[in-house]
Amino acid sequence: MIHDEPHHSATERALLKQIDSLKREDEMLHNILAVDIWAIAKTMDEFQPGFWAAFMKNREQALKRFLDEVVKSKPIKSQRPPFLR
């Protein structure tokens, strides 16, 4: 693994710094998005009680439909073991 090697070239170190920076930025954006969604849901729940519960129920149903579609559209490769299909 690259991180375990004691001697990195300058290019490798720069690349690793960029990757780490991108990971931190991705995590920060994910957290910001989570706060935004929470704020919208909290505000909506104040105007329309029960909004959050309905939102989560719809989200669960949408996720199930999405996963069903992904499974249906996934091509079957007979050479792969069943648990990897």
Q: Which domain holds residue 71?
A: 2-84
Cβ-proximal residues to 55 (8 Å cutoff; 6+ apart), any chain: 41, 44
Cβ–Cβ under 8 Å, residues 85 and 76:
yes
- pTM (2 d.p.): 0.50
Which of 33, 54, 35, 32 is closest to 45 using CA atoms?
54
Q: How remote is the C-alpha of 31 from its chain's centroid?
A: 11
Residues 5, 36: Cα–Cα separation, whole Å? 40
pLDDT digits (tens, 9 = 90+) for 47-64: 999 988 998 899 999 999
% pLDDT > 90, the chain? 56
Total domain count, the chain: 1
Q: What is the mean pLDDT of the chain?
A: 86
